[in-house]
Amino acid sequence: MDALPFVPIELTAIDPARNLRRRWRVAVMYDLFGHLVVETGWGRIGAHGRTLTRSFTSEVEALAYVRALLRRRSEARRRIGVAYTSACR
């Protein structure tokens, strides 16, 4: 098993005027059986939030799933009124 060249991504969407404070993150890792696991977490900043974990047998499938998730985040301004930005500063 080679190390996957993927850094976890954490994004935030904040609009104080609307009391909107969201966080979203995605991480890709291997499980004990050698399958790729994509873990997505989201929720209000400061709250427990939710987590979804999906397992994939190939790197191609996992990265296609991550790309689809990131594409949806890029459309956030249209859906929620504010864009997500990188949480790393």
- Average pLDDT along the chain, 89 residues, taken 10 residues at a time: 72 92 94 92 95 94 94 83 76
Question: Residue 3: its pLDDT value, please?
Answer: 57
Question: Residue 4: its pLDDT value, please?
Answer: 58
Question: Residue 65: its pLDDT value, please?
Answer: 96
Whole-number Å distance between alpha carbons of 29 and 56: 10
The span from the first CA to the last CA of the chain, in angstroms, equals 32
**For the whole model, what pTM was predicted?**
0.81
Task: Please give the structure tokens belonging to residue 27.
Answer: 């991480």
Question: Residue 38: its pLDDT value, please?
Answer: 96
**Polymer length in residues for the chain:** 89
Question: Residue 2: its pLDDT value, please?
Answer: 58
Domains annotated on the chain, with CATH: 9-84 (2.20.140)
Question: Residue 85: its pLDDT value, please?
Answer: 84
Beta strands in the chain (DSSP E): 9-15, 20-30, 36-44, 50-56, 85-86
Contact 23, 11 (CB under 8 A): yes
